[in-house]
Every structure is written in structure tokens, then in C-alpha cells.
Amino acid sequence: MSQIKKYLKKIKLEDILAFVMITLGALMASFSVACILLPNDAIDYGTAGVAIIISKMTGASLSACVFLVFLPFIIAGILILGKRFGIKALVGSLVYTVGLDFFEKIPFELNTEHFLAVVFGGAVLGAGLSLILRHGGCIDGSEIFANIVVRKITDITGKNFSMTYILIGFNACVYMAVFVLINRNAALLSLLVYVIATTIIDHFTDHFEAIKQVTIITKNPDALVSAIKKELKKTCTIMDSYGAIAGENKTLICYVNYFELQKMKEIIAANKGTFSTVSTIDEILR
């Protein structure tokens, strides 16, 4: 009991809000897929799309397929991106899976054309995923997969890369599988879902798949640099700077991806007396 009390004391209002938003986003996404997209011959993208294809081809339970496909990616996310991210990803995935099972049993019908229904479903899906991503969660294994690949490439080359091309390639394979294994109409409608959902996600998360530049102004850079190296395995550019009020200080510049940004925020929060900004970088030239 004492350990549970200690854990509850550590939970901040911000963390509770994040889990509430992740839960809401996962329910919106599962409602969109189960009640709008699937009845109108469209599917979700990413690893959810892979699970839906498996379910359609085998007749197995959709929610079971989704969870089994998600599970290895969630485990990889915990190992590589940390327990905090892993817990949020697990909660989001569980809610999404339970939501699919629940909404599949509810009679719901949009009395409109397939095209309009898919557009609306893609918008609801994109809004739900935006809520999840903005609060540090994830319910799609393709994003974790892309993160792992980018990390490996960065470790080998020493260069920062965007996840964009990996995600596009992954989803291209999903839609080609839909085209071959299901039918071309489903593939085209699903592609429309992808375009609409990712457009909404990009708007609300400022291109989450792109590289993020974090600029930190501080008087005590050593602790920050040490934590960034230890927890993110990243290095920083350090420059002398001067504030009109604060006087002499140091400016740190570090490049991370969207999922690493959550850990970066924790590191900055643990080191008081800093001023930080985040900006999106489309490309880094060498």
C-alpha cells in the first residue's frame, strides 16, 4: 500500500490529463474504424491496417489481430523509447483494441455515399490520432518501427533523418497488399483515409514525422548535456549567448524526432532555470 501511495503522489495532473486525452483519442480512432471505415470498404493504415488485412483473410477476431500485431512493437517501444512512452502506448493500444470490439457490436450507419463516409471517417481517425500523439502516446506500430530504423541509421551514419519516407514506404506496402488481397476499391478508399488522417495529424502536431530542433538557453549546461547523452544518446551544439536581463549563459541546440521530444521535455523539466523552444526542421544539409 505504501508503494502505491508513493506512486500516486508522483502522478501529476498533467499526466492524468495526458492519459484521459490518449483514451479519448483511442476511442475516436476505434469508432472511426469499426463504425465508419470498415462498413464502407476502407481500412486503417499502418500496423492496424496489417491487422485488418489478417482479420479479413483469416476470419479471426479483429480486436485480437490488432493487439497481437501491436504487441511486439509496444515491447520494442518500451525497450527503446522508455517506460513512460511504453505505458502510454500500451494504454492507448488497449483502449483502441477494446474500443474496436465494443463498437463492432453497435449498429451504426451513415446514410451517405461511400466517398463522403470515408472522408468523415478519415477526419475522425486523424483527430483521434492527433490527440494521442500530442500527449506522448502512440497506437500504431509503424511509427515505432520507423523510429527504430531512424535510430539505427543515425547510429551508423551519425546523421539525423526524418521518419517520413519510412512511414510512406510502410504504408505503400500495406495498400499494395490491400489492392492484391482484397480489392482495388478498398485500396483506393483506404489511401483516401491515409491522406485525410495524416493531413489532420500534420496540422495538429506540426509534422510529427519531421526532425525537431530543440533550443535551450541555460546558465548550467553540464547537467542537461549529460542527461541528453545518457538518456537520448544525442549530442548538442553549445554556444555562448547573452541575455539583456540574465546576462551570460549558454545556448544548446539538439535535434530529436517527435517521440524523443517527450523525453527531452522531461529532461528540461528536471533542470530548472532554462528557456526552451522547439521548431520543425524539414531537412538537414551536410
Going from N- to C-terminal start, the domains of the chain cover 2-205, 211-281
Going by C-alpha positions, the residue among 234, 237, 238, 247 that lies closest to residue 273 is 247
Q: Lowest-pLDDT range, 51-60, 160-169, 177-186?
A: 160-169
Res 8: pLDDT? 47
Q: What is the residue-averaged pLDDT of the chain?
A: 84
Cα-based distances in Å from 147 to 155, 162, 184: 12, 9, 30
Separation CA 54–CA 220 (nearest Å): 53
Q: Which CATH class is domain 211-281?
A: alpha beta
pLDDT tens-digit map of 57-85: 888 888 889 989 998 888 888 887 777 78
As beta bridge partners, residue 211 has 281
**Of 4 and 154, the one with more pLDDT:** 154
Separation CA 98–CA 220 (nearest Å): 46
Q: Lowest-pLDDT range, 115-129, 159-173, 225-239?
A: 159-173
Separation CA 93–CA 137 (nearest Å): 9
Separation CA 211–CA 180 (nearest Å): 34
- In contact, 141 and 69? CB cutoff 8 Å: yes
Check whether 25 has a pLDDT greater than 90: yes
Three-state secondary-structure class, residue 159: coil
Res 196: pLDDT? 92
Res 157: pLDDT? 74
Res 23: pLDDT? 93
Res 21: pLDDT? 92
Count how many residues are written for the chain.
286
- In contact, 152 and 63? CB cutoff 8 Å: no
Q: What percent of the chain has pLDDT over 70?
A: 95
Separation CA 75–CA 90 (nearest Å): 9
Q: How many C-beta neighbours within 10 Å does residue 158 have?
A: 9
- Mean of pLDDT values over 115-134: 90
Confidence of residue 11 (pLDDT cuts 50, 70, 90): low
Three-state secondary-structure class, residue 67: helix
- In contact, 70 and 93? CB cutoff 8 Å: yes
Grid coordinates of 62? 479483429
Three-state secondary-structure class, residue 219: coil
Res 10: pLDDT? 54
